């Protein structure tokens, strides 16, 4: 992996934090990894670890080979010390924690890219790989929608105006079409959620639109309802212009995708397992 792609904090990279245990196996301390992945609270980070353990088991691997609960002594100042809970983590465990972390954290996004182990995954059918990508994007856009609603509230948008606020973003991105008009143009039933019928490309464009709006509202300290709505529409227009410049398909011209619930059903019946290289199968045991 190229060094420039490494996740760093305070000058330290993921590889800088690597240690070796008594079995000669590489491992990472969860306490050391915590700030690298953008978590200020151990409680929150431990929740991500617990999700990763579950994911490890579901992927057909032995969690005990990759997650070892242990303790760590930390200094409290003036020669004081106390023991805190910690984990020794294999490289695979670190990957799973990144995959199960908060997707809104930029550190997690970078870590997911860094820890990508596509070469260690068994070959996935093309359709299944596309389904998994779309499901992940749908989950992320749902989280971003909630975060943007919170940012809108902080920016002075009243709850009864949330519909107009969110519609403004759609109008900017879709050339003046709001939520209802987009569904009508694409032949999507009025009762269905628009994002449930977006493909991966359209979801990614909308996620970017929402992320950039949230950041702009905070950066410019917007505290006015009308200005917040205008800001959302303007960001949508700028994303649309970017799509035009690179020659992409404008979102109103993208055909509606299969309903996301159908995708979920298909994935549940064909859950992939993660097949590790032999050297990584035993993780913390070092092949012993």
Sort 124 into a burial class: Cβ within 10 Å, 0-12 / 13-18 / 19+: middle
Q: Which range has highest mean pLDDT (5-19, 78-92, 240-254)?
A: 240-254
Tokens of 11: 């000058």
Q: Which range has highest mean pLDDT (122-136, 231-245, 272-286)?
A: 231-245
Q: Which of 117, 70, 41, 162 is nearest to 274 (CA)?
A: 117
Tokens of 93: 């465990």
Q: What is the pLDDT of residue 113?
A: 72
Tokens of 75: 């200094």
**Quick count: other Cβ atoms within 10 Å of Cβ 55?**
18
Mean pLDDT along residues 137-141: 92
Helix (H) or strand (E) holding 252: none
- The answer, yes or no, to whether residue 121 has pLDDT greater than 80, is no
Contact 259, 183 (CB under 8 A): no
How far apart (Å, rounded) are the C-alpha atoms in residues 10 and 108?
A: 16
Encode pLDDT of 259-281 as tens digits: 999 999 988 877 555 666 666 67
- The answer, yes or no, to whether residue 77 has pLDDT greater than 70, is no
Mean pLDDT along residues 135-147: 93
DSSP labels, 117-138: -GGGSPPPPHHHHHHHHHHHHH
pTM of the model: 0.59
Mean pLDDT along residues 200-227: 97
How far apart (Å, rounded) are the C-alpha atoms in residues 218 and 191?
A: 33
Region class of 174: left (phi > 0), else alpha (psi between -120 and 50), else beta:
alpha
CA atoms within 13 A on the CB side of 90: 27
Looking at residue 266, the DSSP 8-state letter turns out to be: H
Q: What is the pLDDT of residue 225?
A: 98
- The answer, yes or no, to whether residue 6 has pLDDT greater than 50, is yes
Tokens of 2: 């190229």
How far apart (Å, rounded) are the C-alpha atoms in residues 70 and 68?
A: 6
How far apart (Å, rounded) are the C-alpha atoms in residues 254 and 177?
A: 14
pLDDT, greater one: 12 or 19: 19
């Amino acid at each position: 992996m190229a060094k420039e792609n490494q996740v760093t904090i305070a000058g330290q990279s993921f590889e800088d934090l690597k240690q070796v245990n008594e079995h000669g196996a590489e491992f990472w301390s969860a306490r050391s990894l915590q700030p690298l992945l953008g978590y200020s609270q151990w409680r929150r980070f431990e929740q991500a670890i617990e999700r990763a353990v579950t994911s490890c088991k579901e992927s057909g691997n032995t969690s005990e080979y990759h997650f070892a609960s242990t303790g760590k002594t930390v200094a409290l100042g003036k020669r004081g010390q106390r023991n805190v809970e910690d984990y020794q983590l294999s490289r695979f465990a670190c990957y799973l924690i990144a995959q199960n972390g908060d997707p809104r954290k930029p550190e997690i996004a970078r870590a997911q890219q860094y820890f990508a182990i596509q070469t260690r995954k068994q070959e996935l059918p093309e359709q299944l790989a596309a389904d998994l990508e779309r499901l992940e994007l749908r989950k992320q856009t749902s989280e971003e929608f909630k975060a943007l609603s919170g940012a809108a509230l902080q920016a002075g948008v009243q709850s009864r105006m949330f519909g107009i606020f969110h519609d403004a973003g759609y109008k900017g991105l879709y050339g003046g079409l709001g939520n209802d008009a987009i569904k009508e143009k694409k032949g999507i039933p009025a009762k269905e959620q628009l994002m449930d019928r977006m493909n991966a490309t359209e979801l990614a464009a909308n996620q970017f639109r929402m992320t950039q709006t949230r950041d702009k509202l905070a950066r410019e300290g917007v505290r006015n309802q009308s200005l917040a709505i205008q800001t959302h529409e303007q960001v949508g227009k700028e994303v649309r212009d970017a799509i035009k410049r690179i020659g992409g398909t404008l979102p109103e011209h993208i055909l509606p995708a299969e309903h996301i619930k159908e995708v979920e059903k298909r994935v549940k019946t064909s859950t992939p397992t993660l097949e590790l290289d032999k050297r990584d199968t035993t993780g913390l045991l070092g092949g012993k």
